[in-house]
């Protein structure tokens, strides 16, 4: 048996973490959507209904940097509380497996959720804003380096 990584230990640990933090993660997603809507809505309102591609890219960068730092710090809050830290540290799983679960949530899942929330909110703001006739709003493609320059 491998003491560093064992899939039979990792899957229940991942499920346990998912169930214990589901409420917090859903609430964090709602707060992220609200902040994104407020920022992009204010930007569109301030520019007369226009939301340029460059401003959308800047909003995405600010959201991923700000929310990413906050969400990652929330991942390790259990270790700051002595009562919860004892339970987390004495789980029958390796430290690598515990770190991997936190990393998957704070890096991979967070980015997938952020991109989804960003596009939903961006599309909603662009749909309701009324830009000048000669300058229609377009949805930014964050995966196209030429469009984000």
pTM surpassing 0.85? yes
Q: Coil, strand or helix: which one is 144?
A: coil
Judged by phi (left if over 0) then psi (alpha if -120 to 50, else beta), residue 34 lies in alpha
Task: Identify the burial level of 148 via C-beta atoms within 10 angstroms of its C-beta, where 0-12 means exposed, 13-18 middle and 19 or more buried.
Answer: middle
**Mean pLDDT along residues 18-46:** 94
Longest dimension (CA), the chain: 67
Q: What is the pLDDT of residue 1?
A: 55
**Mean pLDDT along residues 72-90:** 80
Of 21-25, 56-60, 101-105, 137-141, the one with minimum mean pLDDT is 137-141
Of 15-24, 76-85, 137-146, the one with minimum mean pLDDT is 76-85
The tally of CA atoms less than 13 A away on the side-chain side of residue 114 is 21
Average pLDDT, the chain: 88
Q: What is the pLDDT of residue 149?
A: 53
Q: What is the pLDDT of residue 148?
A: 57
Residues in the chain: 149
Share of the chain above pLDDT 70, in %: 95
């Amino acid at each position: 048996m491998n003491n560093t990584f064992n899939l039979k230990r990792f899957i229940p640990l991942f499920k346990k973490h998912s169930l214990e933090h589901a409420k917090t993660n859903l609430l964090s997603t709602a707060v992220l959507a609200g902040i994104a809507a407020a920022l992009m809505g204010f930007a569109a309102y301030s520019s007369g209904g226009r939301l340029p591609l460059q401003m959308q890219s800047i909003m995405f960068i600010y959201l991923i940097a700000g929310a990413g730092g906050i969400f990652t710090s929330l991942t390790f809050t259990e270790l700051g509380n002595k009562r919860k830290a004892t339970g987390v540290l004495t789980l029958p799983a390796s430290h690598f497996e515990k770190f991997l679960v936190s990393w998957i949530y704070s890096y991979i899942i967070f980015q997938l959720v952020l991109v989804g929330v960003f596009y939903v909110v961006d599309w909603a703001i662009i749909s309701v804003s009324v830009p000048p006739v000669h300058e229609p709003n377009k949805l930014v493609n964050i995966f196209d380096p030429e469009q984000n320059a």
